[in-house]
Structure 1
Amino acid sequence: MTATDKAQLTYVTDTYCIWCWAFGDALREFAEANRDRLSVDVLPAGMLVGERVVPVGQKDRVLEGAERVTEMTGAQFGDDFRAAVREGSTVLDSTVSAVAFWALRRQAPERPLDIAHALQKAWYVDGLDLARPEVLAGVARDLHLDPEQAAQDATDPAVLAEAQAGFERRKTLPVPGYPTLLLHTPAGPKRMGGARVTPEKLTQQFERLMRGEELPAEED
């Protein structure tokens, strides 16, 4: 099956979406298991922009939320993340993280899920500030990409424009919240998944939608 024959999916996410961190492993396993028949692209959503851009210390119950996510999904959070939340000064800015995503994607357009995961790991495991150039460089190295090129691309106005265009595109899609996984069909985009879904359940949902069936409300 050629790339143009594959089913196309869009993963609408945000680096600072805690439920997206919980969903990521299942999504990547699903995408790998079905790589011969589908392609998943990533769209950073712009969850924290404008007045919502504040230091993490000004957000309520972040660590309690992480504990709840772990209890419900098994997703793990690093000690360095917990320390950064307690210290409180790291500013969570979705424009910064989206610029980082698009800068890295320039070098590896075929690896959007890996890039999204690496950026979330930098925060939810390592507690790092993505606004710092050396952090972006470290993420690039972890992905076996050129760190200097990544840092340079992150300062390119065209990359910022790409991030902002992505935020506008998100507004045109049926996205009730994050994470949202959309399968593009002749009848329009169809929602799949959910933060607690398994790779196997995603495959079942995908196959049903490809047959033209609708998912029950509790599954979309």
Structure 2
Amino acid sequence: MRDYLRTIGAGEIAPGAQLPPESVLCETYGVGRSVVREALQALDAKGFIIVRQGSVAVVAPKYDWHVLDADFLEVTDAEEYFVLLQEARELLEPRLAAIAAARASDSAIDEMAQLNEQLASTKDSPAEHAELDIAFHDAVARATDNAILVSMHSSITGLGQRSRSASASVPGAIDRAIAWHEQIIDALRGRDAVGASAAMHLHLRQVREELGRIERPTQEEHTP
């Protein structure tokens, strides 16, 4: 399954293209028909292929793919989706901050402040920074006391882990994130919905700019 996730994600098999028949897949991977069918059903459930009884499976249209699936993100070039992730975050998170300003408990805001203090000690570890940054934004989402919004926000954190680790490599990125978090916290403490939303929006714009500054490997660096 992971092999086909990678090839589909890389565009090596285009939407609408047929996968090999089950018999060929069995021979290629040295497994039984039940194993192949289980793998195809899993890909179908994730939206990457369309399985129809009595016919060969085909690659599904790209808009049906569950691109936030953890297995897919592990085997594909997640950077392709960073800009799309930012669009989603910029739509969702400023509104989360505005709602949190009205509903957040003092203890929830204190939790955000503690997480932001911890961020200052992770400047040499992009992975740790990513985990703490996600925890901070998750705390903002939970402060809305809206289970649907929390679930929506949680659905993008897998890709968010990858994008945050990448953007944290930009010089000064972590310091800027900490400063914007402080502004968000101040607005939440002041029950300032407009200010919290604006601070979150500007913070995410800063993240977008940093993602645009990530140094990507050249073709020579990709070549063994």
TM-score by length of 2: 0.25
Structure whose residues are more often strand by fraction: 1
Q: Which has the higher contact order (CA 8 A, sep 6+)?
A: 1
TM-score by length of 1: 0.26
